[in-house]
Amino acid sequence: MSDPTGSPSAPPPGCPAHGSAVQLAGLQYQQTPSQLYRSLRREHGPVAPVLLDGDIPAWLVLGYPEVSYVTSHDELFARDSRRWNQWDAIPPDWPLLPYVGYQPSVLFTEGTEHQRRAGVITQALEGVDQFELARECELIAGQLISSFAGSGEAELMSTYAHALPARGVLWMCGMPQDSTDTEQLVDDLRISLDAGEGDDPVAAYMRVGERIMQLVKEKRERPGSDVTSRMLLDPAGLGDEEIVQDLISVIAAAQQPTANWICNTLRLLLTDERFALNVSGGRVSVGEALNEVLWLDTPTQNFIGRWAVRDTQLGGRLIREGDCLVLGLAAANTDPQIWPESHVGAENSAHLSFSNGEHRCPYPAPLLADVMARTAVETLLERLPDLVLAVEAGELTWRPSVWMRGLTSLPVRFTPTVQ
Ligand code: HEM
């Protein structure tokens, strides 16, 4: 593989503030992203100059070696967005502000402070018993399925794929199941991460913060066997505010990508004949489908981001101090350099869907996400074995987002049952 830093070029080709930059927006990111990434790569190489909302310049890192390089060189490409050289151009209502605006959470910390915060999260997640989590997710799945099983039809995104990981992660954090409080929190999380018409995401986010603070106070008084209590008892001694920030990061980081992982896997199973019913009547290869989705339809297709600590080179580009880099995780996963035969396979898990390096999705989290996603898919297929799509596969639509890859809805039909 080539040296990801490439060679210095003069004048700096495709400075993102200049003419050749492409909009990081549009239908192609939803409908045919792999073709789009291929043509971007052909035209611009592994690091493309792009324009974010409002024509704010940034770099989209498309190559597998380049994304690996950026994520493993924190000293050059760091996480604290206050470094950005574009803050003067950002309006107060900029749509990406919730993802890019600095918050004092694990997401934006660096160096030893990041190690401290991420270490506490890692230890706390390591304490989750995967068998217990699977059992709990099966119960949650059962309850959700019974709410629509009798009708013979359902829209799985809203009634199942989103609800299950939200409840699963709140259970891990020690929220009581089956309480109106938890239901309200699940609803507020949905609104604050993915507001629909008439929703007030800011008010919902405030309520999430208040309820998590209350949880932290409850667990300080009566610790249990849950992620929140383990974070509180960790010798690193994080304060309540830090724990609230990091719990919200954990819950938000878990909910959306796991929901889209579930839904993208169900879509693959329901639309691709390789995964159809086998002769014995059981579905095969849920594990393969989960892994194939991480290669080909990864939930976090682009992640913003990293900020250059100083002038440097990457993929033949001159990157200026304070430039913003978007990690093109989906593009990297389908990089022809790692799939020379144009065969993108599911045989291994060397994809970058959980990112890489110091800030990658913390080690136990992908395993826990796998437990939630696998249990969600398997339980649904077991309980509703004749489940089929209620529309033609071509009628399914992807969400209008360049960041997350997930469906707007997943309508299905099945024989009505009483569960
Ligand atoms: C139990 C479920 C999950 C939990 C608890 C979780 C937790 C986290 C946390 C705490 C971070 C921040 C790490 C840091 O900044 O140090 C993170 C980052 C991330 N996670 Fe996860 N996550 C989960 C599931 C997923 C899934 C299903 C995906 C995608 C398939 C995913 C992809 C990512 C990515 C791309 C990042 C960004 C890493 C970076 O900045 O390089 N996560 N996750």
Residue identifier of the C-alpha nearest atom 21 of ligand 1: 361
Site to probe by mutation for ligand 1, drawn from 109, 112, 290, 361 as the one with most ligand atoms within 8 Å of Cβ, is 361
pLDDT > 90 fraction of the chain, expressed in percent and rounded: 74
Ligand 1 site, residue 355, Cβ cutoff 6 A: yes
Q: Residue range 84-99: average pLDDT?
A: 92
Measure Cα distances from 156 to 235, 274, 291, 335 in Å.
42, 22, 20, 31
DSSP code per residue over 119-140: HHHHHHHHTS-HHHHHHHHHHH
Measure Cα distances from 125 to 41, 60, 171, 216 in Å.
37, 31, 12, 16
The pLDDT of residue 4 is above 60: no
Closest-lying ligand 1 atom to the alpha carbon of residue 352: 35
d(CA 343, CA 365): 28
Give the pLDDT score at 339: 78
Query: What's the gap in Å between 76 CA and the centre of ligand 1?
Result: 21
Q: Which tens digits make up the pLDDT trace of 244-274?
A: 999 999 999 999 999 999 999 999 999 987 7
Closest-lying ligand 1 atom to the alpha carbon of residue 258: 27
Query: What's the gap in Å between 55 CA and the centre of ligand 1?
Result: 28
Q: Which tens digits make up the pLDDT trace of 147-189?
A: 999 999 999 999 999 999 999 999 999 998 878 988 899 888 8
Place 28 in a pLDDT band, splitting at 50, 70 and 90.
confident
Residue among 261, 276, 272, 251 nearest 370 (CA): 261
Query: What's the gap in Å between 354 CA and the centre of ligand 1?
Result: 6
Give the pLDDT score at 201: 83
Ligand 1 site, residue 249, Cβ cutoff 6 A: yes
Give the pLDDT score at 419: 75
Q: Which of the pair, 341 or 114, is modelled with greater confidence?
A: 114
Place 143 in a pLDDT band, splitting at 50, 70 and 90.
very high
Q: Which domains does the chain have, with CATH numbers?
A: 22-413 (1.10.630.10)
Residue identifier of the C-alpha nearest atom 10 of ligand 1: 250
pLDDT > 70 fraction of the chain, expressed in percent and rounded: 91
Place 303 in a pLDDT band, splitting at 50, 70 and 90.
very high
Ligand 1 site, residue 369, Cβ cutoff 6 A: yes
Q: Please report the beta strands in 299-374, taking only residues with DSSP state E, as ranges in sequence order.
A: 303-308, 312-314, 317-319, 324-327
When computed from its CA atoms, the radius of gyration of the chain, rounded to whole angstroms, is: 22
Place 11 in a pLDDT band, splitting at 50, 70 and 90.
very low
Closest-lying ligand 1 atom to the alpha carbon of residue 373: 27
Residue in this structure with the two tokens 């799939």, named with its chain if needed? 339
Closest-lying ligand 1 atom to the alpha carbon of residue 294: 30
Ligand 1 site, residue 37, Cβ cutoff 6 A: no
State the Cα torsion 365-368-374-377 to the nearest 10°.
-90
Closest-lying ligand 1 atom to the alpha carbon of residue 303: 35
Q: Any idea which of 85-89, 274-278, 375-379 has the lowest mean pLDDT?
A: 274-278
The pLDDT of residue 54 is above 60: yes
Give the pTM: 0.93
Give the pLDDT score at 19: 57
Residue identifier of the C-alpha nearest atom 36 of ligand 1: 361
Q: Any idea which of 255-264, 265-274, 300-309, 317-326 has the lowest mean pLDDT?
A: 265-274
Ligand 1 site, residue 64, Cβ cutoff 6 A: no
Place 345 in a pLDDT band, splitting at 50, 70 and 90.
low
Q: Any idea which of 50-54, 323-327, 343-347, 373-377 has the lowest mean pLDDT?
A: 343-347
Place 2 in a pLDDT band, splitting at 50, 70 and 90.
very low
Q: Which of the pair, 19 or 42, is modelled with greater confidence?
A: 42
Q: Any idea which of 203-217, 336-350, 373-387 has the lowest mean pLDDT?
A: 336-350
Give the pLDDT score at 6: 52
Ligand 1 site, residue 116, Cβ cutoff 6 A: no
Q: Take residue 294 and report the two structure tokens written for it.
A: 């991480």
Residue identifier of the C-alpha nearest atom 24 of ligand 1: 254
The pLDDT of residue 124 is above 70: yes
Place 7 in a pLDDT band, splitting at 50, 70 and 90.
very low
Mean pLDDT value across the chain: 90
Give the pLDDT score at 280: 44
What number of residues does the chain have?
419
Q: Residue range 324-343: average pLDDT?
A: 87
Place 381 in a pLDDT band, splitting at 50, 70 and 90.
very high
